């Protein structure tokens, strides 16, 4: 989904700016955290919708299984009563529900794959947000420590040590950027998961009036009726 790719883009773009010419990495990181939090809110809603769709498909699947079982029992009752015509109608309705069960089962598998992928990506986004917050805390602490060290060294030596401290601070920033870039690259790979596309099963649910299909269905029903009669010893 686009929302997950957006978080990847946010992280990637901000890392590039930090590595090249961003003068205030703390401000950049704070902005990235705000955008990630907003994106996670949207992603949570999308994941909830996918889970709701999965539940609805599962409920519909179970209902059609139940209806198919009921029509089968009606067919058995009709055979026991010697009403072949009613038995044929019941078996036809049973076959329709069985086709719906097959189609819904395929759709449910697709929905399960999608919702599972979304949940994993959402978990990865939350982990990435936590990492960003930890990085911000570490960066802030390093900044304060470096400033305190600079002041203490200046006072202790009685001279300006801006040049040496600038070099040390640049080394610290470079190391932080490299560590951050490596961690972000690993997490970005986890966030890039493909969600299974929608599969259209409308053709499987088409019970048209085509004569050939009706003939085949009638043959199948007759065969099942004969088997049912043998089963009930009629």
Instruction: Name all contacts of 221-224 with Cβ < 8 Å and 24+ positions apart.
Output: 221/88, 221/91, 221/92, 221/95, 222/88, 224/91
CA dihedral sign, ordered 36, 42, 45, 49: negative
- Please give the DSSP secondary-structure letter assigned to residue 205: G
Whether the per-residue pLDDT at 99 is higher than 80: the answer is yes
By mean pLDDT, which of 71-75, 102-106, 174-178 is the weakest?
174-178
| pLDDT score of 190 more than 80 | no
Per-domain boundaries in the chain: 2-140+181-193+208-228
Output the CA–CA distances (angstroms, integers) from residue 121 to 4, 39, 183, in the order listed: 7, 12, 17
Q: Which of the two residues, 222 and 146, has the higher pLDDT score?
A: 222
Model pTM score: 0.56
Rounded to an integer, the average pLDDT of 14-22 is 50
Cα dihedral 182, 184, 189, 191 in deg (nearest 10): 170
Residue 19 has pLDDT above 50, yes or no: no
Collapsing DSSP to helix, strand or coil, 201 comes out as coil
Higher pLDDT, 229 or 20: 229
- Is the predicted pLDDT of residue 202 greater than 60, yes or no? no
Of 121, 100, 86, nearest to 195 (Cα)? 121
Q: What percent of the chain has pLDDT over 70?
A: 65
Q: Which residues contact 232 (CB under 8 A, 6 or more apart)?
A: 76, 79, 80
Band (pLDDT 50/70/90 cuts) for residue 57 is very high
Q: Are 57 and 108 in contact (CB under 8 A)?
A: yes
Instruction: Pick 58 or 190 by higher pLDDT.
Output: 58
Instruction: Flag whether pLDDT at 16 surpasses 50.
Output: no
Of 25, 93, 116, 90, which Cα lies nearest the Cα of 225?
90
Are residues 177 and 18 in contact, defined by beta-carbon separation less than 8 angstroms? Answer: yes
SS3 per-residue string spanning 41-53 = HHHHHHHHHHHHH
Q: Over range 119-147, report the average pLDDT.
A: 79
């Amino acid at each position: 989904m686009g929302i997950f790719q957006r978080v990847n883009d946010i992280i990637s773009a901000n890392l590039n700016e930090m590595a090249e010419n961003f003068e205030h990495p703390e401000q950049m990181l704070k902005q990235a955290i705000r955008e990630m939090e907003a994106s996670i809110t949207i992603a949570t809603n999308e994941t909830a919708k996918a889970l709701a769709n999965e539940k609805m498909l599962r409920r519909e699947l179970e209902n059609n299984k139940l209806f198919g079982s009921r029509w089968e029992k009606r067919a058995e009752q009709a055979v026991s009563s010697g009403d072949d015509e009613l038995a044929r109608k019941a078996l036809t309705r049973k076959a329709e529900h069985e086709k719906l069960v097959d189609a819904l089962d395929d759709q449910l598998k697709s929905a399960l794959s999608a919702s599972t992928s979304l949940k994993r990506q959402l978990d990865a986004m939350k982990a990435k947000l936590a990492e960003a917050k930890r990085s911000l805390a570490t960066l802030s602490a390093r900044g304060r420590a470096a400033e305190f060290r600079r002041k203490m060294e200046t006072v202790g030596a009685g001279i300006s040590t801006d040049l040496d401290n600038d070099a040390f601070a640049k080394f610290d920033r470079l190391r932080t950027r490299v560590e951050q870039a490596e961690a972000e690259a690993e997490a970005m790979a986890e966030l890039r998961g493909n969600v299974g596309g929608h599969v259209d099963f409308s053709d499987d649910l088409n019970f048209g009036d085509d004569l050939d299909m009706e003939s085949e269905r009638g043959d199948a029903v007759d065969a099942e009726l004969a088997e049912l009669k043998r089963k009930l010893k009629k």
